[in-house]
Amino acid sequence: MRLGLVIDMDTCVGCHACAVACKQWNTSGTTGPLSDYRPYGEDPSGVWFNRIRHYEVGDYPDNKTVNIPMSCMHCEHADCVNVCPTGASYKRPEDGIVLVDQDKCMGCNYCAWACPYGARELDREDGVMKKCTLCVDRIYDETLPPEERQPACVITCPAHARFFGDFDDTRSEVSRLVRERGGVKQMPELGYKPVNTYLPPRVTRPIPTDDVRANTLISSVKDWVNKMVAR
């Protein structure tokens, strides 16, 4: 079993709802409170498991804003686990989830330096490393209805851009989406084999500029405006 996420970069609107839901759930979850530093000051910061990067791709009229949520990729070859001197970072053999044992972590930062995705954050108040757990305390909670046994970020996403499932199951939704949409991995050349997969943005038609369709559209808008003004 390889549990992980599929994220649709074509659908994600960059609203940060996944990041907020993640912080809210995990603050009371397996890792304990996620500290905030100067939350009402001039330079607020804090511990987040999920962060969203925003990029502008292409030139007008073919440009597009692409939002890329980044969290732990739960890599098959996780160097963050290999470099940990205390054994605090480990990968579960039963489902592939990478976790941190808070009781063993000494906050040395080795794992953060080994992670190319910036997915680990040192909680300066607790002095230990923290990261995405795939909401392991939620996805195995049999007191919840089956449809709610998903990471908080997946349930919360208003654009339905996030999917959770088993990548070893060829019939799962995540496997199907990767096949149909040509899912890609982040920085595959490093050999970490991240489990989380991204669906690339679809090719969109350019916005009409100076062709006949654009002139027709502009004329229609002008006529509508003139009618409204004349009333």
DSSP, residue by residue, 75-109 = -SS-HHHHT-SSS-EEE-TTT--EEE-TTT-----
For the chain, percent helix, then strand, then coil, each to nearest 5? 25, 20, 55
Q: What pLDDT is recorded for position 199?
A: 94
Residue 28 has pLDDT above 90, yes or no: no
Residue 116 has pLDDT above 70, yes or no: yes
Q: What pLDDT is recorded for position 39?
A: 85
Q: How confident is the model at residue 75 (pLDDT cuts 50, 70, 90)?
A: very high
